[in-house]
Amino acid sequence: MKQATKQAMKEAPVVRLDDIRKTYHLPAIEVPVLKGVNLSVWPGEFVGIMGTSGSGKSTLLNILGLLDLPSSGTYLLDGQEVQTFSDAELAVIRNRKIGFIFQSFNLFPHLTVEQNIEVPMVYADMPRRARRERARVLGERVRLGHRLKHRPNELSGGECQRIAVARALSNSPSFLLADEPTGNLDEKTSGQVMEFFHELNRESKMTIVMVTHNPALEHTFHRVIRLRDGQVVDRNGNPIQFNTDDRSAETGR
């Protein structure tokens, strides 16, 4: 087991899901998508969530990112039960505690790199001078301080993804939630971006949850949580029954 995971076990989880279920109610049928998901993510971990199309990854991603709420079960983020909050409170928590990184970068093409990094800070009502300084610091952190006045169409795919990471870090989130962040990149650039994620995790102890269907990335994570048909499964596809405090069971390795 890697050192980051050993250290994480000594602390409370950043994310804890207990018996999370999600059912979509259509006019003529109910569609259960998540069927009792249990997992925890600990400070400083780099966790991969893997599964084929239809396994429930997107629904789980939306729940982890507070874009949707479960039908039942408990989601604790930094010890707070998210289902108890209003929509307005959830929006604030989403802005302050979760850094989102997307496959398609989701940068604003008409804004400069500096302004793109500032966006979450604007929503957090950070004063202009403070957010400009933080954008500069984060630009340097992702090694693109010399590109702050450029626009996304002047950057490579790998540079755009690093700017997206800088933006996700702007409000010092509890964890980064990355959705297929290398999906639109070529193999070489994908490797560079993954190395950057590892550098961020290693040097800053940033907790990262990455959702991917790419089996080539499996060896890069501290732990892998596999989904199949809305359940956490082992490598052979068998459902895993365990308590969220049992970290070894939920790896599915």
Is a pLDDT exceeding 60 seen at residue 252?
no
pTM above 0.85, yes or no: yes
| Cα separations in angstroms, 38 against 43, 93, 154, 244 | 17, 22, 43, 6
d(CA 229, CA 21): 12
Q: What is the pLDDT of residue 148?
A: 95
Is a pLDDT exceeding 60 seen at residue 110?
yes
What mean pLDDT do residues 195-204 have?
91
Q: Which amino acid would we find at residue 239? A: P
What mean pLDDT do residues 146-169 have?
94
20: Cα separation from own chain's centroid: 18
What mean pLDDT do residues 123-139 have?
94
Instruction: Give the fold, CATH level 3, of 3-251.
Output: Rossmann fold (3.40.50)
Is a pLDDT exceeding 90 seen at residue 69?
yes
Pick the closest to residue 198 from 4, 41, 1 (CA basis): 4
Assign 73 a pLDDT band (cuts: 50, 70, 90). very high
Q: What is the pLDDT of residue 138?
A: 94
Q: What is the pLDDT of residue 213?
A: 85
